[in-house]
Structures are given as structure tokens and as C-alpha cells.
């Protein structure tokens, strides 16, 4: 599902009580696992057994501080999988500490794909199908509460930066109003269209539903544009292909995108409270998001 590395005995990477739920696993037979790249909090592995190939994902408790809800994730992932838009779920732990799903072979998207109008048209068409799926009953995705939660945590932990966080919160609330989110019916959304969460060429699958929600469908487009500014030139393609051009203007999408740049920045900054020694790449991504916010405020 994502580019992987060295093949290892599964028991050396994954707890036995988790492996027991992988189809075809037996303690007596050799079972191999490969750590999958992608994702910054949880750990994912491709597991090979006599029954086939599966993905095991172990959830890190730190994800809850960053807005993850694994029970909601399982329900939304299941709905998308039933529509053929996500890998089928094989097993979900009752405590939502891990999940097992089918392995989808195929190339993972790269950042380059988001500069291509044809790929964005394909993504838009998949999002149109996703937004037509009847969503399960889950807790509402409350963007003002998300912004406030990030603000309060960061302002308390970093008092020297309180004024900046307060300004960003105010600007975020203004962007939310300007994108007219209340005018559009809420739908099932993926909400985190990073390139490693998209797999396939002729058929596209969406993986990693950790931040999935029932919310404004425009947020899916905004998350893609927030991650990949190179897609801005083809924003109209996404609007048309997703079917949202009739209910959202280019300016509304621009406002939603600014909001999602803000949420992405706050996610990275909040994560650094829990993981002080983050990678240089993560720090660079955080800084790039902050510069975009300041440049387009």
C-alpha cells in the first residue's frame, strides 16, 4: 500500500495477539512482515500468510492528541470500502488499538501527481463517488472545536507564542465563515489527501481514514490543495470533477484551503509537543505551512 522496506519475521514486529487475527496466520508456519512507509504516528505492516497479503496497522495513543478517533475511523473506512473506494476491513480490535485490512498492490501517488490535471480529474471523480456514499452515524466533525482545541493546547504549552496562535485562530474562524460551509450538506470525507494515502492508477483507492469525518465535502479538495500548492493551477479541475462547482466558488475553495493549511500547521506544531525530536523533513513541512499562512493571510 506504500513503498516498503526489508522483509522480516512477523513475530519480530507485531504482537502475537494481533497476528492471531490475520487470516492464515499460525504460530507454527513462517509468516513474514514488511514495515510500510507512510504515516507519521501509527505503524503499518504488510503481512504475508497462506491466505494472502494483509495490512496490519498498530495505533499509537499519541494520535488521540492530534484529533484521531479510531472508532469513527473504522466506521467511515468500512462505508468507503463497501463502496469500493477503500481496502476491505478484515478485523477491527474492540479497543481500536489495531486494525487489519486487505493489501492493495499498486503504485502510491507522489507529489508530482498533484501537478497533473488528469490525475486531479481522477481524484475529483473518486471524491464525487465518496461524497455520494451514505455516511454512518458518527460524532460530528466540529471545525471550530478542532481549532479551539489546538489553540488552547499550544497557547498553554507555549505562552510566548500565544498572540500568534490567537491571531491564527481568529483568521481561521473567518476563513471557515468565508467558505460558506453551512450551505453544503455534510458528506463522508477522507479529510487527509496526502499522496501516500492514494493508491492506484486505473483504479484509485483511498487509505488511512484516521482523520475521516462527516463534514463539508469541500474540505476534501481543500486538504489536497493545502498539502500540494502545485495543484492550485488545476483547482477548477477538482471543483468540476468532484461535482462541487455548482455549490462552491473558486474563492470559497481558496478560503477552505487556507483553513486546511492552518489545521495542517497546527497538527505539526502540536505533534512537536509530544515528539520533541521530530525529523528535519517534518520541521521543514511545518515551516513551509507557516510561511504559506503568513504569505496568504
How many CA atoms are closer than 13 Å to the CA of 231, on its beta-carbon side?
30
List the CATH code of the domain at 4-102.
3.30.200.20
C-beta contacts of 271-275 below 8 A and 24+ residues apart: 271/40, 271/41, 271/62, 271/66, 273/65, 273/153, 273/154, 273/157, 274/62, 274/65, 275/62
pTM: predicted TM-score of the whole model, two decimal places: 0.88
Q: Write down how long the chain is.
A: 297
For residue 139, what pLDDT is reported?
A: 83
| Domain residue ranges of the chain, discontinuous segments joined by + | 4-102, 111-296
Calculate mean pLDDT across residues 200-205.
Answer: 93
* Lookup: cell for 124: 475529483
Is the predicted pLDDT of residue 32 greater than 50, yes or no?
Answer: yes
How far apart, in whole angstroms, are the C-alpha atoms of residue 211 and residue 122? 22
Give me the helices (H) in the chain, please.
16-19, 70-82, 117-130, 143-157, 162-178, 218-227, 235-241, 250-274, 280-296
The answer on pLDDT for 61 being more than 80 is: no
Share of the chain above pLDDT 90, in %: 75
pLDDT, position 64: 60
| Nearest-angstrom CA–CA distance, 294 and 180 | 22
Using the structure block, give the residue that is written with the C-alpha cell 458528506.
187
Q: Max alpha carbon distance in the chain (Å)? A: 60
- What pLDDT, on the 0 to 100 scale, is given for residue 3? 47
139: nearest Cα among 209, 76, 193, 220: 76
Bridge partners, residue 99, by sequence: 57, 92
Fold of 111-296: Aminoglycoside 3'-phosphotransferase; Chain: A, domain 2 (3.90.1200)
Question: Is pLDDT of 5 > 60?
Answer: no
pLDDT for 60 beyond 80: no
- Report percent pLDDT > 70 for the chain: 93
Q: What is the pLDDT of residues 159-184, one digit of tens each?
A: 999 999 999 999 999 999 999 999 99
Torsion region of 84: left, alpha or beta (phi above 0 gives left; psi -120 to 50 gives alpha):
left
- What is the DSSP code (8-state) at residue 108? B
| Local confidence band at 39 (pLDDT 50, 70, 90 cut-offs) | low
Amino acid at each position: 500500500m506504500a513503498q516498503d522496506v526489508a522483509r522480516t519475521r512477523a513475530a519480530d514486529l507485531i504482537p502475537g495477539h494481533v497476528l492471531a487475527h490475520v487470516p492464515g496466520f499460525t504460530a507454527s508456519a513462517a509468516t513474514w512482515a514488511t514495515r510500510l512507509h507512510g504515516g507519521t504516528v501509527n505503524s503499518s505492516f504488510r503481512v504475508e500468510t497462506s491466505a494472502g497479503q494483509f495490512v496490519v496497522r498498530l495505533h499509537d495513543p499519541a494520535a488521540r492528541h492530534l484529533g484521531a478517533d479510531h472508532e469513527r475511523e473504522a466506521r467511515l473506512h468500512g462505508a468507503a470500502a463497501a463502496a469500493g473506494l477503500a481496502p476491505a476491513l478484515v478485523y477491527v480490535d474492540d479497543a481500536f488499538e489495531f486494525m487489519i485490512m486487505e493489501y492493495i498492490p499498486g503504485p502510491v501517488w507522489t507529489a508530482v501527481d498533484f501537478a497533473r490535471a488528469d490525475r486531479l480529474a481522477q481524484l475529483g471523480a473518486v471524491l464525487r463517488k465518496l461524497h455520494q456514499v451514505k455516511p454512518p452515524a458518527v460524532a460530528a466533525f466540529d471545525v471550530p472545536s478542532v481549532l479551539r482545541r489546538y489553540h488552547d493546547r499550544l497557547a498553554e504549552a507555549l505562552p510566548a507564542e500565544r498572540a500568534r496562535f490567537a491571531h491564527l485562530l481568529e483568521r481561521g474562524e473567518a476563513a471557515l465563515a468565508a467558505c460558506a460551509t453551512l450551505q453544503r450538506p455534510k458528506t463522508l470525507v477522507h479529510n487527509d489527501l496526502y499522496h501516500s494515502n492514494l493508491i492506484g492508477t486505473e483504479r484509485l483507492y483511498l487509505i488511512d481514514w484516521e482523520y475521516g469525518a462527516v463534514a463539508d465535502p469541500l474540505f476534501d479538495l481543500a486538504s489536497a490543495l493545502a498539502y500540494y500548492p502545485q495543484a492550485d493551477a488545476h483547482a477548477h479541475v477538482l471543483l468540476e470533477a468532484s461535482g462541487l462547482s455548482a455549490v462552491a466558488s473558486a474563492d470559497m475553495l481558496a478560503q477552505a484551503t487556507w483553513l486546511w493549511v492552518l489545521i495542517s500547521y497546527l497538527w505539526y506544531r502540536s505533534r512537536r509537543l509530544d515528539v520533541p525530536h521530530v525529523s528535519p523533513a517534518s520541521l521543514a513541512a511545518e515551516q513551509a505551512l507557516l510561511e504559506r499562512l503568513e504569505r496568504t493571510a
